[in-house]
Amino acid sequence: MSAGPSNPNTKKMRAIATVAIFVGALFISACNSTKDLGLDAESLADAASTQATPIAEKIGSGGVVVGLIIADEPDNLSDGLPNSAYLSAKLAAQSLKGAKVTLIVRRYDHTQTTLQSAVSAFVEGQAGIIIGPDDDEGAAVIAKLLQGKNIPVISLGRGVNSKFRIYGSGLSVAQEIAVVVAEMKKRKYRSILIAGTKSSASKAYSAAFLKAIKGTRIKAVEVDIGDMAQGVVAAGNLIETGKNIPQAVLFATGPKAASAFILALSDNTKFAKLDIVGNNGWSTAPNDIPKTRQIWFATLASNHLKDFSRKFAATSKRSPTLRGAIVYDLVVMAGVLPKVVPEDPYGEDVLSNSQGFTGQSGKFRFGKDGAIQRSYVITTLN
């Protein structure tokens, strides 16, 4: 019995079925040592020293063109370089073997003029996919400007819109906090000291935690350690004389401030009994995490952030941010998908394939609505 005519979609469907495996392997191969890959370490080091994303830059000359519009992060919970996302994208583009990429980079200042100029550059450069910006409003503007051009936008925010092909890859602080609160309930915590600062990232993290514990038996008191001396005094008084002595300190800061705070209270015997809780931002700063105490925090499941941070630091001399790791993964994904699925590599069926992708930031997949799906686990150090 002769075989019937083949389904024209069969080849593409088979390719999509191999996406997760193939891309996962390339994520790993793209994170070898900079020495082995012959990266332009001097160029990366120079870019790191400026700590700012260039206003405009073209990186590489490959056939896969990726648009990147990114803002710096001077305020982050990793104590990472402000321009980590740009540096990570550059690192990814230089690391990829067998998937030559051209990056068209534009720095984002959250203005309409910048968005319009960036879109013009991306279209003129024939970008097949755009990564960024970090806010939902900006992503929506870009998608509308691209209407009819079949170019997906992988926003670094959370907003999605299937009609305009906006995918949201940003992390959910609320999801992370929910895992933290669940762990605190398991440990029977009732009183928490939140150590934070006046930075926007710290305030947002603290606010998310306070919102999550409403209606629970967990109570919390905030202490501002932006002024370390005053913060240490306030925390010491609370621990010594407070009615509800905290059982744990939750740091809504980077690991360096946490280390200084812990050191300043090292002679306080009551403080020594408190558990130390970090945050997901610490995942990309393994060398800066306090070493003198056992610490736990929620981090992305199945991640390779320690290895990624080591590679990043080898050229940039500082830790990256979590957003940097995410951008690295997205650039790798954008670079290798055309090799796996030459026909419409950024189609909805490819980007939202059921197996998803595995990168330095862990496993992730995009739902049919464009929203990213990740999971968190509790990690304990020291």
Per domain, the residue ranges of the chain are 10-172+303-374, 173-300
Grouping H, G, I as helix, E, B as strand and the rest as coil, residue 166 is: strand
Q: Dihedral sign, CA of 314, 319, 321, 325? A: positive
Q: Please determine whether the domains at 10-172+303-374 and 173-300 fall in the same fold group of CATH.
A: yes
* pLDDT at site 340: 87
Burial class (CB in 10 A: 0-12, 13-18, 19+), 188: exposed
Divide the 382 residues of the chain into consecutive groups of 10 and give the mean pLDDT of each group.
Answer: 45 58 54 50 59 94 96 96 97 86 97 96 97 96 93 96 94 98 97 97 98 97 96 92 86 97 94 96 95 94 96 93 97 93 92 92 95 97 87
Q: Is 267 left (phi over 0), alpha (psi -120 to 50) or beta?
A: alpha
Grouping H, G, I as helix, E, B as strand and the rest as coil, residue 379 is: strand
Cross-strand bridge partners of residue 372: 366
* pLDDT at site 98: 74
Domain 10-172+303-374 maps to which CATH number in 3.90.1170.50, 3.40.50.2300, 3.30.1490.20, 3.40.50.300?
Answer: 3.40.50.2300
The two three-digit tokens of residue 330, written as one number: 């997205």
Superfamily per CATH, domain 173-300? Response regulator (3.40.50.2300)
d(CA 290, CA 276): 10
* pLDDT at site 2: 36
d(CA 320, CA 88): 8
Q: How far is CA 181 from CA 5, 169, 191, 214, 298, in A?
A: 56, 23, 12, 11, 10
Counted residue by residue, the chain has a size of: 382
Q: Is 336 left (phi over 0), alpha (psi -120 to 50) or beta?
A: alpha
Question: Do the bridges between strand 357-359 and strand 295-300 make them parallel or antiparallel, or are there none, so unpaired?
Answer: unpaired
* pLDDT at site 1: 34
Q: Say if CB 201 and CB 75 are below 8 A apart.
A: yes
Reported as type and span, the H/E element at residue 299 is strand 295-300
pTM of the entire structure?
Answer: 0.90
Residue type, 366: F
Burial class (CB in 10 A: 0-12, 13-18, 19+), 55: exposed
